């Protein structure tokens, strides 16, 4: 088995295999077929932070593959971490109870700590402001489905690029797929310099443009993100920045023809509900794509594809 802790550890061949396997599973499900690849296997989901999509889509993915699920929501208060048990020791326990585990935790590096304790595959479901690799994979899957390719596309990453783990994983993965980036953020929430400089050094085109209207005019994909309230130390700073960007029908009018709008969700105020009627509003389709992509990941890390 293989842990999925970040996107950098995945080879291009592995990424392509995940995309192909997800597409195959999606075709089987759409044609009414049943998959039993994970029959007799158990998934443990350990969530120390809130989640709707990641936990539920992993759980339904496991059930749709014929497997079973052990779920610890609110793990911070309902598991023995409340009594001081380390994540490493939790990994030692989980390996005896489950065949694969998904963890979400507020601290960067926590998924790696669980993986150090467990001999079974561990999947990072979001570690603090670090990475969210399975989100990046379902984002890639969505772009391929919606636009038919990634090569040559201009992708605008907008919102909280400092704290948003989905854009940290997403930028690293999409950079390998031939896209150009526009980074649209208030200065205080800019993409970490280490990421921007790393992309530029590897030859990826990056434009820094805090003006959303001019950014959407040349983008094939607008990837909006929520301002990450839970990562702010100063509540006043959050209040000042929380409405930095709001995509409305007026924004859509200024967009490049055929632009799709993505968002890892949940949204707060950064995309108005009126935009949901726009045919390029892909964010709910994107969330649904999490199911076949996570089915592929579970099966592949367990050798059951
Ligand atoms: N996109 C995402 O990770 O959503 P949840 O926080 O609801 O899992």
Mutate to test the pocket of ligand 1, among 51, 134, 270, 290 (most ligand atoms within 8 A of CB): 51
**What is the C-alpha to C-alpha distance for residues 233 and 221, in angstroms, rounded to an integer?**
31
Per-residue tokens: 174: 């999409």
- The rounded Å distance from CA 201 to ligand 1 centre is 31
Instruction: Supply the pLDDT for residue 243.
Output: 87
- Name, in order, each residue with C-beta under 8 angstroms of 227's C-beta and a sequence gap of 6 or more: 159, 160, 189, 238, 241, 242, 244, 268, 270
Per-residue tokens: 184: 């649209």
263 lines ligand 1 (CB under 6 A): no
135 lines ligand 1 (CB under 6 A): yes
230 lines ligand 1 (CB under 6 A): no
ipTM for the whole predicted complex goes beyond 0.95: yes
For residue range 214-250, what is the model confidence (pLDDT) as tens digits?
Answer: 999 999 999 999 998 988 989 999 999 998 899 999 9
| 3-state SS, residue 74 | coil
| Residue-by-residue DSSP string for 212-246 | HHHHHTT-SEEEE----GGG-S-HHHHHHHTTS--
Pick from 118, 251, 108: nearest CA to 168: 108
Catalytic residues: 53-54, 83, 104, 132
Pick from 179, 279, 183, 173: nearest CA to 225: 183
Query: Which residue ranges of the chain lie beneath pLDDT 70?
Result: 1
**What is the C-alpha to C-alpha distance for residues 111 and 103, in angstroms, rounded to an integer?**
6
For residue range 254-271, what is the model confidence (pLDDT) as tens digits?
Answer: 999 999 999 999 999 999
Per-residue tokens: 74: 């609110």
**What is the C-alpha to C-alpha distance for residues 268 and 37, in angstroms, rounded to an integer?**
37
Instruction: Supply the pLDDT for residue 1.
Output: 65
Instruction: Supply the pLDDT for residue 129.
Output: 85
pTM above 0.90, yes or no: yes
């Amino acid at each position: 088995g293989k842990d999925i802790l970040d996107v950098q550890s995945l080879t291009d061949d592995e990424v392509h295999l995940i995309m192909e396997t997800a597409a195959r599973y999606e075709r089987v499900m759409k044609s009414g077929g049943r998959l039993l690849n994970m029959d007799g296997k158990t998934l443990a989901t350990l969530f120390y932070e809130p989640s709707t999509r990641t936990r539920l889509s992993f759980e339904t993915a496991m059930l749709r593959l014929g497997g079973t699920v052990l779920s610890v929501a609110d793990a911070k208060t309902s598991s023995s971490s409340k009594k001081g048990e380390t994540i490493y020791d939790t990994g030692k326990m989980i390996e005896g109870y489950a065949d694969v585990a998904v963890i979400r935790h507020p601290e960067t590096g926590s998924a790696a700590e669980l993986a150090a304790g467990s001999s079974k595959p561990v999947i990072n479901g979001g570690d603090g402001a670090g990475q969210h690799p399975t989100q990046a994979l379902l984002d890639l899957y969505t772009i391929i489905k919606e636009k038919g390719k990634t090569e040559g596309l201009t992708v605008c990453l907008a919102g909280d690029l400092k704290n948003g783990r989905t854009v940290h994983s997403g930028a690293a993965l999409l950079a390998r797929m031939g896209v150009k980036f526009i980074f649209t953020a208030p200065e205080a929430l800019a993409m970490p310099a280490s990421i921007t400089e790393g992309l530029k050094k590897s030859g990826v085109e990056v434009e820094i443009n805090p003006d959303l209207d001019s950014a959407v005019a040349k983008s094939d994909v607008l990837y909006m993100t929520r301002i990450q309230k839970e990562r702010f130390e100063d509540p006043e700073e959050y209040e000042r920045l929380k409405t930095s960007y709001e995509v409305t029908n007026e924004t859509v009018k200024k967009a490049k023809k055929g632009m799709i709008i993505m968002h890892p969700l949940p949204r707060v105020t950064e995309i108005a509900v009126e935009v949901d009627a726009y045919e390029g509003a892909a964010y709910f389709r994107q969330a649904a794509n999490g199911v076949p992509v996570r089915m592929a990941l579970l099966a592949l890390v367990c050798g059951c594809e």
